[in-house]
Amino acid sequence: MFCMQKSQGIKYILIASLFFSIINALVKYLSTIPAIEIVFFRSLVTLIISYVGVRKTKVKIINEHTPLLLARGISGAIALSLYFYTIQNIPLATAVTILYLAPIFTVLLAIVMVKEKPNPKQWPFFILSFVGAALMKNIDTRVSYEHFVMGILAAFFAGLAYNFIRMLRGKAHHSLIIFYFPLVTLPLCLPWLIPLWKTPNLEELIILILIGLSTQFAQVYMTQAYLTESASKISHFNYLTCFYALITGVIFFNEHLNYFSLIGLGLVFIGVIFSTKFAPKSI
């Protein structure tokens, strides 16, 4: 039974990573739409869909776990807004690379927040995966300090959000966890959205809706993954987004692979395989 749960958790995080990669590509394509507006539309679509899910499960929206749900929603909203902002202001490859710090923050924060300690043997492979991600994406040294720090903060708050999900394991229904994300994000967007608003044309509107739909799928699978497995077992699988991003870049943005990218890809896979091998046996 445990083996089945383990394979399910890994499957969930891989599918989530695929949808997050689709979102990255669509956000990059909408370079003329303010980042906060993309966050708003994304949250509006997911709020409607997730509300339907909450209604079906008949769970109470406000309950004893509301403070944790709000904390998850706030940390996720901050991470998403900062991340989309960095995508809008620096090359997509660089922004995605910086966000690859999120799995490391997730594992570090898990030590304090949910008392999950990774196997010491995993650390070299966590680091190896990050080095591989950096090589694949060729970090742009021309990125301003301000944008770099905002990217780091996006990764930190993403790790925080993932651990709040772990803290909600066995307490709140997964549909409620997903619902609180857009519920909190929408009102947080408004103060910045109004002065920056740009009315989208039909094509842009369709893409904004697609971002929302892709996000819903990504959130469902990501939430299920962190509810199923410990952070140390699955957080590093986010590095496989590198692989999805490379394929997307080659097909849609004419980004060609170089030797560093190929070496980095190999390092990511080695890091993921061996960090999984040394993961703790219990959650």
pLDDT digits (tens, 9 = 90+) for 242-273: 677 677 767 776 766 667 767 877 787 787 77
Is-contact 33 201, C-beta < 8 A? no
pLDDT at 238 over 70: no
What's the predicted TM-score (pTM) here? 0.78
pLDDT above 50: residue 4: no
Determine the pLDDT at residue 7: 62
Asked if the model's pLDDT at residue 140 lies above 60, the reply is no
Tell me, what's the pLDDT at 66?
Answer: 93
Q: Give residue 142's pLDDT.
A: 60
The pLDDT confidence band at residue 160, using thresholds 50, 70 and 90, is very high
Model pLDDT for residues 27-59, shown as the tens digit of each residue: 988 988 999 999 999 999 989 998 998 988 888
pLDDT at 5 (0 to 100): 45
The distance between the two most distant Cα atoms of the chain, rounded to a whole number of Å, is: 53
pLDDT tens digits along 203-216: 999 999 999 999 88
2, pLDDT greater than 60: no
Across the chain, mean pLDDT equals: 82
